[in-house]
Amino acid sequence: MATVLANLHPEGTVYGEVGDSSVPLRFSESADEYRVLRERAAVLDLGGNRLIEITGPAAVDFAQRLLARDVEYLTSERCMMSLVLDESGQVVDQVLAFGRENGILLESSCGAGTRLLEHLEEHNDEGVVITDRSADLTVLALEGPYAWGVVGRLIDGELASLPFESVVETEWNGTEIIFARTGFTGEYGYQMIVPVEAAAELWCQALEHAGAAGQEALELAMLEVRQPIPRHEATAGASVIEIGANWLVDVTKDEFVGRDAVLAAFESGQGRRTVGFTGGDAIPEAGARVLAGGQDIGEVVHAVRSAGLGATLGLARVDAELAAAGLEFTVDGVEVTTLTSPYIVPKSWSIPII
């Protein structure tokens, strides 16, 4: 399924199939788009993220049972990121949950909407109404150290300094939109959930102040700050603990689907752990063996060329006792060094909103 903005993307845009969606991987050169995101402000077409509305009297109870974080008191002024797990503790998706007056709105990760929707429907014991809103709503995002300035020029400067994960309903160009302070890359980040009929105009106006960045640049920037990318990291059989996404699960919550399995994995102390690495020029495939002292200790999860590091950057899942920064391993015959996260320090951390 193509994004609603696909007809506005420039000629030569390279698309890729990500789960159930066809999304722009890059509009021109990924390295240039990455630099825009890390140094100025990028606008992102997140049309591959599915919007699913849950309504009905039991909507919050249902969401509370299905999401791994506590959404019981998530008001319409807040959003939060959470994992959705199955009974075995495997990751179904990583969602952004928006509190709504009449329930909750979930934004899936890129291309994972169908899988999420099926999972929600299979678990609908409460009889809530689950509605795929992607035919009438889409998501645009801004990320970058100067994204706050774009918000000011595009909508309202007051919105730029909202606290993290705050949400407001506001009007843009005569259209009601949901505006949220979010962020996937460590830079200042904002999302706008807009009616599809207004998305084209907002996209074009945003491009007057920011550069377009595709999925490749976004995912590289996410990896650099260890923001989980489920489609790469939630490999078959890997527990939340092995992925290192504990922070997207609230174990103080009494009950949610997958809780027992996650706790069992945590308490066992068994399995592997994920650590970042860099080294060499070649990009190892997912599944490439990782050696330490000549012995097989795990495998590569995901690796890319990092424009920020000027080198290969990847994640490896290795024996827990060796999942630490500052070690030298071998991948495909090349020596690599494990890293401390974040692998790139976002510029936004030293730039105030003015």
Chain residues in the site for another protein (CB under 8 A): 81, 164, 183, 186, 225-227, 244, 246-247, 251-252, 266, 274-276, 278, 292-295, 309, 311, 321-328, 337-343, 345, 349-350
> Do you find a cis peptide bond into 163, omega within 30 degrees of 0?
no
Q: Which is nearer to another protein, 211 or 308 (by Cβ)? A: 308
- For 303, the 3-state DSSP assignment is strand
Q: Which is nearer to another protein, 103 or 244 (by Cβ)? A: 244
Q: Which is nearer to another protein, 29 or 247 (by Cβ)? A: 247
Query: What single letter denotes the amino acid at residue 135?
Result: A
Closest approach, Cβ 354 to another protein, in A, equals 17
Q: Which is nearer to another protein, 4 or 151 (by Cβ)? A: 151
Closest approach, Cβ 308 to another protein, in A, equals 10
Q: Which is nearer to another protein, 270 or 349 (by Cβ)? A: 349
Helix ranges restricted to H, the chain:
30-39, 59-66, 113-122, 147-154, 157-160, 196-207, 215-224, 230-233, 240-243, 259-268
Closest approach, Cβ 322 to another protein, in A, equals 5
Query: What single letter denotes the amino acid at residue 184?
Result: F
Tracing tokens 């066809």 back to the chain, one arrives at 22
Closest approach, Cβ 262 to another protein, in A, equals 10
Distance CA 71, CA 98 (A): 9
Closest approach, Cβ 179 to another protein, in A, equals 17
Q: Are 318 and 330 in contact (CB under 8 A)?
A: no
Distance CA 304, CA 308 (A): 11
Q: Are 78 and 55 in contact (CB under 8 A)?
A: no
